[in-house]
Amino acid sequence: MPNTFTTDWKKIGQSGPTVDGREIEGQWLLDAAEEYDPAKYTAVIWIDHYRFYGNFGKVVALKTEEKDGIVSLYAKLQPNEWLLSQNKDKQKLFTSMELTPDFAKSGKFYLTGLAVTDIPASLGTSELHFPTANRTPPTFLLTASNSATFRKASRKLKPRHGSQTPCGNSASIFPTTKGQPPNPKRTP
């Protein structure tokens, strides 16, 4: 079942200078908020702007606020389980905007992607914290000389290979996430 958790408004960037010496113009952010329509083009969340890890969720809405001459861009995000897992471990806590000029020959800027990172270039971004309640617990793999896999604590563990005990004397528990197999060669 897909995750439908949507955040409240998170500040993803602001106008003015960036840490790496670039300048973000307020009009770019105003354009992005005004034009953003997921039905037209959905900005997907990436890890550090890299596409080969797969996406980590999507942007569902944008808005701007202006204070003391600084335009701030806010987003409502729909993180997937991978991003929720990273966030639980206090990783990828900030955002980095991917703004495309003259999007689809509109003459306006559009948010075409959003990266989660630990080193944002834009000043003033909100630190991302997602609630952990009501989330599906991770699947665990017990490894030992006789190992067992279980999904819920309420289920009985079934030993593999005809063993009478599921874990043996030296079990290790490695959390896994749905769709990502554990590394069985990992040693405790």
Catalytic one of 49, 102, 118, 129:
49
Question: CA–CA separation, 61 vs 65, rounded Å?
Answer: 14
Per residue of the chain (188 residues), give pLDDT as tens: 355 788 899 999 999 999 989 999 999 999 999 999 999 999 999 988 878 888 889 999 999 999 999 999 999 999 988 888 887 878 888 899 999 999 999 999 999 999 998 888 888 888 887 776 544 444 434 344 333 333 333 333 333 343 333 333 333 333 444 444 444 444 44
Active site residue 49: yes
Question: How high is the pLDDT of residue 2?
Answer: 53
Q: Is the pTM here over 0.85, yes or no?
A: no
State residue 70 phi and psi, 5-degree precision: -110, 125
Q: Where are the chain's structural domains?
A: 10-117, 136-188
Question: How high is the pLDDT of residue 3?
Answer: 56
Catalytic one of 8, 20, 68, 89:
20
Query: Edge-to-edge, what's the strand order for the sheet holding 148-150?
Result: 148-150, 139-143, 172-176
Question: How high is the pLDDT of residue 68?
Answer: 95
Question: CA–CA separation, 131 vs 5, rounded Å?
Answer: 10
Query: Tokens standing for 166?
Result: 């599921």
Question: CA–CA separation, 132 vs 160, rounded Å?
Answer: 32
Q: Which residue blocks in 1-156 are alpha helix, DSSP H? A: 26-35, 81-88
Q: Which of 53, 25, 185, 187 is nearest to 113 (CA)?
A: 53
Catalytic one of 96, 122, 126, 147:
96
Residue bearing tokens 């729909």 = 78
Residue bearing tokens 């703004």 = 99
Query: Tokens standing for 145?
Result: 């000389």
Strand partners, 55: none
Active site residue 161: no
Active site residue 20: yes
Question: How high is the pLDDT of residue 67?
Answer: 96
